Amino acid sequence: MSKALLLENIDPVAVDALTAAGYAVETRRGALEPAELVAALDGVALLGIRSKTQVTAEVLRQCPELVAVGAFCIGTNQIDLAAAAASGVAVFNAPYSNTRSVVELAIAEIISLARRLLDRDKALHAGTWDKSASGSHEIRGRTLGIVGYGNIGSQLSVLAEALGMRVLYYDLEDKLALGNAERCGSLDELLARAEAVTLHVDGRGGNAGLFGAEQFARMRPRSLFLNLSRGFVVDHEALREHILSGHIAGAAVDVFPEEPAEQGDAFDSVLRGLPNVILTPHVGGSTQEAQHDIGRFVAGKLVDYLASGTTTLSVNLPTVALHGRSVERFGLLHRNVPGVLARVDALVGEHGLNVDGQVLATRGQLGYVVTDVSAELPPGLLAALRALPESVRLTIHGPLRTA
């Protein structure tokens, strides 16, 4: 029985889906360091992680039995995608499943910061009745600046506008505005106009240090700041200074440059204890609804890949989906050079089989061809396909069958 390993407290629906597909599933609550991960992956075909476990090139090199990795989250910067592709390991994530959860948290935090609910709550818990409108504002009529107009940023745009906010956004790509949102030509333009700035950028390396002292200084006095994207994007020392000076009236931070590996571990930050600052432990997408949907979606992608070779929404392999089914199916991931398809088909013919269905796609240096044939695959054909100089990985697609 093929094995699957799920780390970091992935929703049980994923365990159910993989078990129903015939996998022996092991779960662990926390993340694993690379050396621990290599030991745990002995004999494992499918790995499921969230944001903490690092799947490095060295881990992939030492785990040749690993076939696919599921990132049960949005980001994939914790995985060496190029090394995974070169090793023939498919990677899937959940780019949409927790979008609504993150957006709802952002809306809740914008309202909380504008109303200074933290200060009111703290005073009342301390026994002080401070019934005052001082520093408390509606968000209706205020201007929200969204940095990063992808799945989360664009949905936030729609909900914020429905609440009466004016919406500006900035994105490196030319994204279509939704509703009455207005695209800014530069980040500086957005910072000069927005009364609340929220970051929703991806984990690409170029975003490291995106927001520092210079950007905070360009924000309007007494504006609000939120980061629910990536911890390494923001200079927290600079944010602290601007909060203490009063230039930033309030902030909400859900992600940090360094985060504890497991629940219950100690946490420290220069932002602790600051007035009107909401700190949450990377829970933007952590609602029961979102985690259930992520577990269902990513587990389904992993099962589909092993069963049919489908790589739709894979973040590192060519996109292939061969519909229908013949007697046998195999997928060959190979170096993207001319003539591979012809050689594959010639080998199939030499072993007395017909090609009943076939799809080829390429992506950068890789090609991926999925082929249906008319009879059982003879061992000689499999050996010949693996021996092709361009071959990266050969997989026989069906219930728990790899080669």
When the candidates are 4.10.95.10, 3.40.50.720, 1.10.3720.10, 1.10.10.10, the CATH number that belongs to 1-97+289-308 is: 3.40.50.720
pLDDT at 325: 75
pLDDT at 324: 82
Cα separation, 69 vs 154, whole angstroms: 28
In residues, how long is the chain? Answer: 403
How many other CB atoms are there within 10 angstroms of residue 67's CB atom? Answer: 21
Tell me whether the CATH fold assigned to 1-97+289-308 matches the one assigned to 99-279.
yes
pLDDT at 190: 98
Contacts of residue 393, Cβ cutoff 8 Å, sequence gap at least 6: 67, 87, 88, 332, 333
DSSP-assigned states of every residue in 196-248 = EEEE-----GGGTT-B-HHHHHHSPTTEEEEE-S-GGGB-HHHHHHHHHTTSE
- List the catalytic residues: 230, 259, 282
- CATH homologous superfamily for 318-403? ACT domain (3.30.70.260)
DSSP 378: P
- Helices 151-162 and 99-115, interaxial angle, to 10°? 50
Cα separation, 250 vs 230, whole angstroms: 19
CATH number of 99-279: 3.40.50.720
152 contacts 200 by C-beta, under 8 angstroms: yes
Query: Whose CA is closest to 288, among 9, 6, 4, 28?
Result: 9
> Side-chain half-sphere of 33: how many Cα atoms within 13 Å?
3
Domain boundaries of the chain, sorted by first residue: 1-97+289-308, 99-279, 318-403
Tens digit of pLDDT at every position of the chain (403 positions): 799 999 999 999 999 999 999 999 999 988 999 999 999 999 999 999 998 899 999 999 999 999 999 999 988 989 999 999 999 999 999 998 999 999 999 999 999 999 999 999 999 999 999 999 989 999 999 999 999 999 999 999 999 999 999 999 999 999 999 999 999 999 999 999 999 999 999 888 888 999 999 999 999 999 999 999 999 999 999 999 999 999 999 999 999 999 887 778 899 999 999 999 999 999 999 999 999 999 999 999 999 999 999 999 999 999 999 988 778 999 999 999 999 999 999 999 999 999 999 999 999 999 999 999 989 999 999 999 999 999 999 999 975 444 4
SS3 51: coil
C-alpha distances in Å from residue 270, one per residue of 36, 110, 239, 279? 31, 21, 9, 11
Query: Residue 332, exposed/middle/buried by CB under 10 A (0-12, 13-18, 19+)?
Result: buried
The single residue listed with the structure tokens 């589909």 is 304
pLDDT at 399: 57
